[in-house]
Chain A
Amino acid sequence: MNSKGSLQSSSSELDLDRPNIEDYLPSGVAIQQEPRGKLRLHDLLDISPTLSEAAGAIVDDSFTRCFKSNPPEPWNWNIYLFPLWCFGVFIRYLIIFPTRVLVLTIGWIIFLSSFIPVHLLLKGHDKLRRSIERSLVEMMCSFFVASWTGVVKYHGPRPSRRPKQVFVANHTSMIDFIILEQMTAFAVIMQKHPGWVGLLQSTILESVGCIWFNRSEAKDREIVARKLREHVLGADNNPLLIFPEGTCVNNHYTVMFKKGAFELGCTVCPVAIKYNKIFVDAFWNSRKQSFTTHLLQLMTSWAVVCDVWYLEPQNLKPGETAIEFAERVRDIISHRAGLKKVPWDGYLKYSRPSPKHRERKQQNFAESVLRRLEEK
């Protein structure tokens, strides 16, 4: 009895943390017609609905779809187009790519040669130092965007710096951050990465107020939550940017928004980012490639085309919970960027779902059996 009690309490905790999955699953699965009439052996033995559901999930499931890279459409396997394609490869790899590397190198040289002195020499003048560092980071990000010929269209008013607001955006790749950063120096909440990205995080990005954490460290959550609250109160801090999905999704779907960003009591400014994969798929599949490979892939493509929409700021409505608020904002972003919403928590990439949903199905089954047993 005791164990059952604790089980229920844990699942009710989880309830608070996520939207209702049943709202999203295809209606055929969620609303099974109520079987009526007296219970017969046939009804007990017939497990075909459950089996079909399982097979359906094996054949196709919305979670895996969120993280599926989109292979480029092969258009070149044609005797007429093939030479053209070869020509394109030649230009992309032997002309455009070296040029971009050069541009990026020049960018780094300019950036580092001004950032390091500013960082070290202007210790006393915090305000001045910060504003210079801010513009330097923005400039460096512009170099990055230039290194994949980023054709970015920004729609809507530019973000301003003021207290008590956070920006949330859908997440496709780490380049989201670079694209947004080139317009406005955001402070971003991010996963701590290994390698050179990690080095950048702990040196340069620290100066724009970025906060990072380790997904696997439970205690990091509290620290991040505290840092977040402190950050949004500072008037001169860079605007805060959060990717509430917590993981990269392939820009066709949005997964569950973590509620953290919506509990701060701030105005939430949604940002929708939609990539046009005409030249390259901007989805960073971190399971398949490192960030360096991903960048190289972008740098050897013709261009990265994308649209960024700064949408109307939203506030918590009276009586609305943080989850409902998160879902509403997700609606707005998904609608603008043309993304499909799925109920899954992106962290399911790293863990198994809670037993809650299975329990609900078991409960439905048990109730139906017991009810029909009494019907005569």
Chain B
Amino acid sequence: MGTASSMLTQYDIEEVQQHCNHLFSQQEIVCLYQRFCQLDRNAKGFISSDEFLSIPEFVMNPISQRLVKMVDGLNFKDFVAFLSAFSTKASAHQKIELIFKVYDSDHNGKVSFKDILEVLKDLSGSFMSDEQREEVLSQVLKEAGYSKDCYLTLDDFNKVLGQSGVKMDVEVPID
């Protein structure tokens, strides 16, 4: 474990930095690598969904099941790329794009009424009924000028979320 940081050469770090558009400093990447090795228990070179789900704080998250599908089997470069949207240096656009990807579970580039309903279902669980969720969503969509049959694109997300900005910064702990 102690050797984990020394296994990354300057070249490796630069390569990873390029892969994440320099949103993380070298020191942050070294720390993320240590964390990656810690989560990748058998040193397979990737983190399985099971290993992500061994973090209790992560499992407690309402959308963890959805997220785990996105992060399952990530190698270190993709792990960093995924997290780069949470960097303080990442643009609002990048952050919104990640949010969009969470909604767009079938990767077709557009988010349907049903897609949003599913995320709402994750977030509210058994504390709202299906009818309530549908009602809330259609009302709110209507007020924003969309209809139930509309598909929201990334541009729409930018329009809706961009105006007031999103706060989605996670600091990499450097010890």
A residues with a Cβ closer than 8 A to B are 4, 7, 21, 25, 39-64, 68-69, 71-72, 74, 287, 344, 348, 352-353, 357-359, 361-363, 365-367, 369-370, 373
Contact = CB atoms under 8 A, between A and B. Distances in A.
A34 B62 CA distance: 18
A62 B57 contact: yes
Nearest to B137: A44
Interface in B108-135: 116, 119-120, 123-128, 132
Nearest to A74: B2
Interface of B: 1-2, 32, 35, 38-39, 41, 52-53, 55-64, 67, 71, 83, 86, 95, 98-99, 102-103, 116, 119-120, 123-128, 132, 136-137, 139-141, 143-144, 146, 157, 160-161, 163-164, 166-173
Contact of B86 (A21, A47, A55, A365): A55
Given A41-B146, A47-B102, A48-B167, A72 B53 contact: no
B53 A51 contact: no
B170 A44 contact: no
B83 A46 contact: no
B167 to A, nearest CB: 6
A1 to B, nearest CB: 11
Contacts of B125: 358-359, 362-363, 366
B60 A357 contact: yes
Contacts of B144: 40-42
B96 to A, nearest CB: 9
Contacts of A25: 57
A54 B98 CA distance: 13
Contacts of B2: 71-72, 74
What is the interface of chain A mostly: helix, strand, loop, or mixed?
Answer: helix
A42 B161 contact: yes
Among A7, A57, A71, the one with the most B-chain Cβ atoms within 10 Å of its Cβ is: A57
Contacts, number: 161
A51 B123 CA distance: 11
Contacts of B56: 61, 63, 344, 348, 352-353
Given A68-B38, A358-B125, A56 B136 contact: no
A50 B99 contact: no
Contact of B55 (A43, A46, A63, A366): A63
Contacts of A45: 99, 103, 116, 157, 160-161
A7 B127 CA distance: 13
B140 A47 contact: no
Contacts of A373: 136, 139
Given A348-B56, A358-B60, A370 B128 contact: yes
A366 B140 contact: no
19 contacts: A40-B143, A41-B141, A42-B164, A44-B137, A44-B140, A45-B116, A45-B160, A45-B161, A48-B167, A51-B168, A53-B61, A55-B86, A59-B35, A59-B171, A61-B56, A69-B1, A71-B2, A362-B127, A365-B123
Contacts of A41: 140-141, 143-144, 146, 160
Given A51-B102, A57-B61, A348-B56, 9 more contacts: A39-B140, A42-B160, A51-B67, A54-B61, A60-B173, A61-B57, A361-B62, A365-B127, A367-B127
A25 B86 CA distance: 20
B6 to A, nearest CB: 9
B53 A352 contact: yes
A196 B36 CA distance: 35
